Amino acid sequence: MRSERAMLVLAVAVVGAAGLAPMLAVLAESVRVGGQFGLAHYGVLVRSTRQWQLLGHSVLLASLVAGMATTIGLPLGVLMAKTDLPLRGTLAALFTFPFLLPPYVVAVGWFQVFGRGGIVGDWLGPAVAERTHAILFGLSGTALVLASCLMPVVMLLTMLFVRTVPPRLEEAARLAAPWGATFIRVTIPLILPGVLLGALIVFLLALGEFAVPMFLRYDVYSVDSFTRFAALYQPAVAAAASVPLGLIALLLVALERLFLRDRTYEIRFAASAPDVLTAPLGRARFVLLGVVLLLGAVGVALPLGSLAIRSAAPGVYPEAFARGWDALVRSLGYAAAGATLLTVIGFALGYLIQRRALSIWRAVDSLTILLFVLPSTVVGIGLIALWNRPTLGAVYGTAWLVLVGYVAQYTAVTSRATVAGLSAIPRAAEEAARLAGAGWFRRVALIVAPLASRSLCAAWIVAYLLCVRDTGLTMMIYPPGGDTLPVRTFTLMANGAPPLIAALCVMMIAAAVIPLGVIGLVFGDLRPGRQRAKAAW
Amino acid sequence: MTMRLEPGERVALLGPSGCGKTTVLRLVAGFVAPDHGLVRIGDEVVAIDGRIVVPPERRGVGMVFQDLALWPHLSVHGNLAFGLRSQGVSKPEIERRIHEMLEMVGLGTFADAKPTRLSGGEQQRVALARALVLRPHVLLMDEPLSSVDERLNRQLRGEIVRLQMELGFTLLYVTHRADEAADVAERVAQMDRSGGLGGAVTI
Amino acid sequence: MRRLGFACLVLLVACRGADDSVVVYVSHDQVFSEPILRDFERDTGIRVLPVYDTEEAKGTGVMNRLLAERNNPQADVYWANEPIRAELLKQEGVSESYRSPSSQGIPAGLRDPDGHWTGFAARARVFVVHKDIGDPPRTIAAYSDPSWRGRGVIANPLFGTTTTHMAALASLWGADSLMAFLGLARANSVVMSTSNGESADLVAQGAFAFSLVDVDDAISRLRRGDPITMIYPDQAVGGLGTLLLPNAVLLIRGGPNPENGRRLIDYLLSPETERKLAASDAAQVPLHEGVAVPPDLPPIENVTIMDVDYTSMARLLDEIQPLLQSWVESQP
């Protein structure tokens, strides 16, 4: 009992130090004026019409992205999980792909297709390209690109939640109505809390995103407040400027806790039925397949394929390797180390949350989720404010700080995956070991962890992907000479030759996908575990 | 196996768990098609040799599920209105029929309640009302009383029979309890473990 | 899996900077600066640990990082891509005076009198003009000149060097006169593009007659054979002169490797580095006299330089921001 408590408290302390303390540091910094308490920095913000306007831009962009992601992701999720659409597995993977990449890579891909001098121009003439170019830059393009990157969140959550709908509820409806009405009035309303959760995550991720708005030239709060405004070069003002974004995240997470969380559990009554009902699409299946294929081609395959096309010139890849090889190696190292650390800490926290082992389990859960949706710039500023001291030089300015940042931002993913995995393990398995006299460490190491191994592997993979694609946080805290491939590519984008950038983006895609393939080959099919991990949301 | 029900008759399907009673109901409802053979309702062949000819919503069949399957996001009123709306019944007619139906099962004052807030017996009646408000020719019941206590079980048996006599639908009632079958049905069909019907027609 | 992760951690820590290294934060485009730094490593054996900025004036860049680290400096050298930031850092007390021997010969107006920062390898702000234009515009006043009505294009003044250019004009004329000029330009149907590169492309395609861009935007298109010419504007006697935006390098106060920092600064300010930057696609004008330049880049001796005060530009940059914003948003 004592070792259990000690380990859990230690895990909570780690996340507290990595995540909570920087947030508090930001707050503390923002209310310090000339060494004393004061709200002057907020006064500057409140009076600046530009800041309000930018906050408006950010909320508008995030709402548009969440709206589009839901409008497309919900029907796609239903199609993929509940119908006999041909190729649905492949298509679901295709649509998920952009989510695995740093969003600006996807933006570069879109630019290669729809920008001036892009593929559309080659095919349909410069006049059409002029049009698409105008749409791509500014609010419309930024929203489209981010929606294509974040839509998978809604789609995957929809796919997951429709599987939890008891089939009887749909059959009861099928006695009176065709599948269409059944989906609209029974299935979708039942999973609405899950879908709204997805929309909320998308909204918050879009709110914190800055690379894509920067690339496509749409002024948003997260870009501007940390550059132009904070370009008055006062960290305290920058800290104050980051507080509104933190507050929005906090508010929405709190609302989700209040209104959605309980309703999500409400529908989980005994579903003895074995499987998920599938709606036959009949003749419509080929029409729908055509529509979905077109969407996948225009929104995913073309932009990402264009990167490969653009980079396929002699001498490009040798230069890309010369420019990015060391960063690529570091990316893989950071991501592997980060994912491992995240899996260990996430397991402890997930155990704590699922078993309600400490009275603060709910607060821990909320904290990790808040940190996950907090804009990376806020976390970054907090980490610098907290760790940048002569006495902490052993961490600050080293790769350790990057790992601390990953733990701060992404623990929610691994802890929730653990929760999902543990929920599927009968408690009796651990209790039996306890009666047999095994201590907590032995129980966890020999009984619980092996039983949850699929979830833990899935957690590791998702954490790896999030770490390897991270741009915003790493960019702020990487040690000198220790940047990662997404950061390297992003900095090279200023005046870098387009083929080189495209080649680096292709390298990044490989960095995300190839290790997954290897792991997949070694550990076999992990998809069910992966889905369970996502179910935790 | 072959089974034939006369219009307006009450038949119970009795057998141990796992013998395929529920599958029979799902065949009639149209959720599955028989690999070989056919299902006929009235004069119409609704499924034949692995193919569903008439989908569930056009068979005029109602069903009460073992776990009731009430929709938790809709009120009692919403649960009853769903099918009526889907069948294109006019709005005033929907209200009239729901009111009438709820009165009939003794839930007149519960229209706006969420089913999860109701007692077991009340939920049972909502499930019955939801199935009957569509005026099905055939009502399928799958162990509907398995989760209520003995006293309520006996009381509800009587109500089911009363409603059937009032409304005149054909009832196919699945249970594993002989006394329940005897109370509810005019005929009892016995199924054995292999899925065969022993003593195809009794009483 | 855990053991593997631990091994990774150990590796990461082992990669930390040794004594013989120098930490440099870089705001100049990584594409151009990285090869120079690699050459320094090769020539001196000192390991360079760089942190690069994202696109100019944007990103939560190294500028903020320098300020955030003021009390615990991590960097030895800052390579700024224009002097305004260097000036700001000086004002914030981040930098330390260092008069490099290599700064001999760099014009006095392009380095800090107190020796905190020194300019080198400048980006010039030039006109690109379509080849078919017989008598090309020779002054930025062409934007408000009715005879060029609807023929000029300029990048969004809220971004990059165009913003800096506006600040320079404001420091010479005052903010009100700048806005009056922009108002006239608007009335003269000047079109706004998203970037200097786009402006240059539009001129090359013949959609517009001329545009104010960075010298590297012009050179890259000239080298690829686009039908344009490059002109240094306002060269007439008594004219404004051409705006030069030099890179600037400064030594960070209290950095971990000051001696190596000075060596790097000496290296960056050398004529040889200027020659490389001139020859690269960055096409930056050397500030030392007599540095060999490619034929398409005029040497500094022949250019009348706009005489600007970077201190007042730093102040004006923030002041004119809202004015430019409203100008951009009022576009029809």
pLDDT score, position C242: 93
Q: What is the largest CA-CA distance in chain A?
A: 77
Q: Which of A174, A190, A266 sits opposite B57 (nearest CB)?
A: A174
C4, C21, C92 member nearest A340 (Cβ): C4
Closest approach of A357 to chain B, Cα-based (Å): 30
**Quick one: DSSP state of residue C241?**
-
Closest residue to C72, CB basis, from A323, A340, A389? A389
Which of B18, B10, B87, B81 has the alpha carbon at shortest distance from B56? B87
Please state, in angstroms and rounded to a whole number, the distance separating the CA atoms of residues C40 and B164.
Answer: 95
H or E element, residue C129: strand C117-130
A186 touches chain B (CB under 8 A): yes
CA distance C31 to B137: 78
CA distance to B162, B189, B197, C70, per residue, from B183 (Å): 12, 14, 20, 88
What pLDDT does C60 receive? 43
Q: Edge to edge, what strands does the sheet with B44-48 contain? A: B38-41, B44-48, B51-52
Lowest-pLDDT range of A46-50, A291-295, C287-291:
A46-50
Q: What is the mean pLDDT of chain B?
A: 87
pLDDT digits (tens, 9 = 90+) for B131-156: 999 999 999 999 988 878 888 889 89
By Cβ distance, the residue of A171, A176, A192 closest to B82 is A176
Given a cut of 80, is residue A283 above it in pLDDT? yes
A177 Cβ under 8 Å from any chain B Cβ? yes
Distance to chain C for A450, nearest Cα, Å: 13
Judge: A238–C55 Cβ closer than 8 Å, yes or no: no
pLDDT over 70 at B179, yes or no: yes
Q: Is C59 a residue whose pLDDT tops 80?
A: no
Please tell me the predicted confidence (pLDDT) of residue A523.
60
**CB-neighbour burial class of residue B187 (10 A; exposed 0-12, middle 13-18, buried 19+):** middle
pLDDT of residue A520: 67
* pLDDT more than 70, % of chain A: 91
pLDDT tens, residue by residue, B12-70? 998 887 778 888 898 899 888 888 888 888 888 898 888 888 989 889 999 999 888 89
| Residue A359, pLDDT score | 85
By C-alpha distance, the chain B residue nearest A193 is B73
Amino acid C117: pLDDT: 95
Residues on chain B touching A164 (C-beta within 8 angstroms): none
Tell me how far apart the alpha carbons of residues A244 and A259 are, in angstroms, rounded to a whole number.
22
Over residues C282-307, the pLDDT tens digits come to 889 999 988 888 888 877 778 888 98
Q: Do A399 and C54 touch (CB under 8 A)?
A: no
pLDDT in tens, A389-412: 777 777 888 899 999 999 999 999
The mean per-residue pLDDT over the stretch A240-264 comes to 77
Kindly determine whether residue A333 and residue C11, on different chains, have CB atoms separated by under 8 Å.
yes
Q: Are B141 and B160 in contact (CB under 8 A)?
A: yes
Label each residue of A28-90 as H, E or C.
HHHCEECCEECCHHHHHHHHCHHHHHHHHHHHHHHHHHHHHHHHHHHHHHHHHHHECCCCHHH
Separation between Cα atoms, residue C278 and residue C32, nearest integer Å: 10
Quick count: other Cβ atoms within 10 Å of Cβ A265?
9
Burial class (CB in 10 A: 0-12, 13-18, 19+), A149: buried
Q: What is the pLDDT of residue C62?
A: 79
Instruction: Give the per-residue pLDDT at B139.
Output: 94
- For residue C223, pLDDT beyond 90: no
Residue A328: per-residue pLDDT: 94
Mean pLDDT of the region B175-186: 91
Token duo for residue C198: 């786009």
Question: What is d(CA A536, CA A37) in angstroms, rounded to the nearest whole number?
Answer: 41
Q: Looking at this protein, which amino acid is placed at residue A292?
A: V
Q: Which helix (H) or strand (E) holds A410?
A: helix A399-423
Lowest mean pLDDT among A156-160, C63-67, C97-101, C145-149: C63-67
Please tell me chain B's helix, strand, coil percentages from 3-state DSSP, rounded to the nearest 5.
Answer: 40, 20, 40
Which residues numbered 206-225 in A keep a CB inside 8 Å of some CB on B? Answer: none
Say if B119 is an interface residue toward chain A (CB within 8 Å).
no
Given an 8 Å threshold on Cβ–Cβ distance, is A377 in contact with C8?
no
pLDDT level of residue C7 (50, 70, 90 thresholds): very low
Chain C: nearest CA to A92, how far in angstroms?
A: 29
B84 contacts in chain A (CB < 8 Å): 176
- Between A245 and A170, the more confident residue is A170
C247: left (phi over 0), alpha (psi -120 to 50) or beta: beta
Q: Does B138 touch chain A (CB under 8 A)?
A: no
Q: How many CB atoms lie within 10 A of CB B203?
A: 11
Which is more confident, C290 or A270? C290
CB < 8 Å to A334, chain C: 8, 12
Residue bearing the bigger pLDDT, C6 or C323: C323
- How many CB pairs below 8 Å do chains A and C form together? 160
Cβ contact, residue pair C58, A230, below 8 Å: no
Question: Given a cut of 60, is residue C5 above it in pLDDT?
Answer: no
Instruction: Indicate the range of A45-54, A163-172, C309-318 predicted with least confidence.
Output: A45-54
**Measured between alpha carbons, how far is A535 from C6 in angstroms, rounded to an integer?**
29
Q: What is the mean pLDDT of residues A353-357?
A: 85
H helix intervals, A256-390: 261-266, 284-296, 302-311, 316-355, 361-373, 376-387
Q: Residue A177 is nearest to which of B29, B71, B83, comparing CB atoms?
A: B83
A174 CB within 8 Å of a chain B CB:
yes
**pLDDT of A410-466, one tens digit each?**
999 899 888 878 877 777 888 888 888 788 888 888 888 888 888 888 889 889 989
- Segment A133-153 shows an average pLDDT of 93
Rounded to whole angstroms, the Cα distance separating A121 from A141 reads 17
SS3 state of residue B54: coil
Distances (CA, A) of C31 to A85, A324, A500, C13: 47, 12, 10, 27
Q: Which residues of A touch C67 (CB under 8 A)?
A: 233-235
Kindly tell me if the per-residue pLDDT of C81 is higher than 70: yes
Question: Given an 8 Å threshold on Cβ–Cβ distance, is A491 in contact with C30?
Answer: yes
Contact of C241 with C169, CB cutoff 8 Å: no
Q: A238, A245, A242, A237: which is closest to A206 by C-alpha?
A: A245
- pLDDT number for residue C9: 43
Beta strands C77-80 and C21-26 are parallel
Sign of the alpha-carbon dihedral angle for C173, C174, C175, C179: negative
B81 touches chain A (CB under 8 A): no
Element (H or E) spanning A194, and its range? helix A188-208
Residues of chain A neighbouring C60 (CB-CB closer than 8 A): 210, 226-227, 230, 377, 380-381, 472, 475-476
Which of A227, A344, A460 lies at the smallest CB-CB distance from C58? Answer: A227
pLDDT band of residue A528 (cuts 50, 70, 90) is very low
Q: DSSP readout, B115-156?
A: GGGS-HHHHHHHHHHHHHTT--SEEEEESTTTTS-HHHHHHH
pLDDT per residue as tens digits for the range C154-171:
998 877 789 889 999 999
Q: CB distance from C330 to chain A under 8 Å?
A: no
Please state whether beta strands C117-130 and B51-52 pair in parallel, antiparallel, or not at all (unpaired): unpaired
Using an 8 Å CB-CB cutoff, list chain A residues near C58. 214, 223, 227
ipTM > 0.90?
no
Residue A484, phi then psi, degrees to nearest 5? -105, 170
Q: What are phi and psi of A491, to 5 degrees?
A: -75, -30
pLDDT of residue B194: 62
Quote the percentage of chain C above a pLDDT of 70: 91
Provide, rounded to the nearest whole percent, the portion of chain B with pLDDT above 90.
Answer: 43
B59 against A274, higher pLDDT: B59
Q: DSSP of A489-509, one letter per residue? A: HHHHTTT--HHHHHHHHHHHH
How far is it, in rounded angstroms, from Cα A299 to Cα B32? 38
- Contact partners, residue A165, CB within 8 Å, separation at least 6: A187, A190, A191, A267
Q: Are strands B10-14 and B187-191 parallel, antiparallel or unpaired?
A: parallel
User: Which of A333, A397, A493 is facing C74, going by the closest CB pair?
Assistant: A397
Q: How far apart are CA C128 and CA C105, in angstroms?
A: 30
Mean pLDDT of A125-131: 87
> pLDDT exceeding 90 applies to what percent of chain C?
52
Which residue from A minimizes the CA distance to B63? A172
Tokens for B44?
A: 């119409």
**Chain A residue whose CA is closest to B134:** A176
Please, what is the angle between helix A139-162 and helix A527-535, to 10°?
A: 100
The whole-angstrom distance between C288's CA and the closest CA on chain A is: 25
How near does any CA of chain C get to the CA of A351, in Å?
18
Which among B173, B160, B165, B195 is positioned nearest to B66, based on CA atoms?
Answer: B173
Contact state of A168 with B71 under an 8 Å Cβ cutoff: no
> What does the mean pLDDT of chain C come to?
86
User: Which residues does chain A have within 8 Å of residue C64's beta carbon, measured at their own beta carbons?
Assistant: 226, 230-231, 233, 235, 238
* Helices and strands in chain A, H and E counts: 30, 2
pLDDT in tens, C109-150: 889 999 999 999 999 999 999 999 889 999 999 999 999 999
Residue B82 to residue A189, Cβ atoms within 8 A: no
pLDDT of residue A270: 35
Reported pTM:
0.81
In angstroms, the CA C326 to CA C316 distance is 16
| H runs (alpha helix) in chain B | 21-29, 76-86, 91-104, 120-132, 150-167, 178-184
Cβ-Cβ contacts under 8 Å for C311 (sequence gap 6 or more): C87, C91
- Overall average pLDDT of the A273-286 stretch: 78
For residue A164, what are the contacts with CB-CB under 8 A and spacing of at least 6?
A191, A267, A268, A271, A535
Q: Judge residue B63's burial from the number of C-beta atoms within 10 Å of its C-beta, 0-12 exposed, 13-18 middle, 19 or more buried.
A: buried
For residues B61 and A183, give the distance between their C-alpha atoms in angstroms, rounded to a whole number: 20
- pLDDT tens per residue across span A489-510: 888 876 677 889 899 999 998 8
Put simply, the chain B residues between 139 and 178 with a CB less than 8 A from any chain A CB are: none
C64–A235 C-beta distance less than 8 A: yes
Residue C55 contacts A where some CB pair is shorter than 8 Å: yes
Average pLDDT, chain A: 84
Query: pLDDT at position A269, please?
Result: 36
CA distance linking residue A216 with residue A208, whole number of Å: 15
Mean per-residue pLDDT, A249-277: 62
Q: Does B73 touch chain A (CB under 8 A)?
A: yes
Instruction: Identify the band that residue A261 occupies on the pLDDT scale cut at 50, 70 and 90.
Output: low
Q: What is the DSSP letter of C110?
A: G
Question: What mean pLDDT is predicted for residues C2-10?
Answer: 44
For residue B78, the model assigns a pLDDT of 93
Choose between A326 and A276: higher pLDDT.
A326
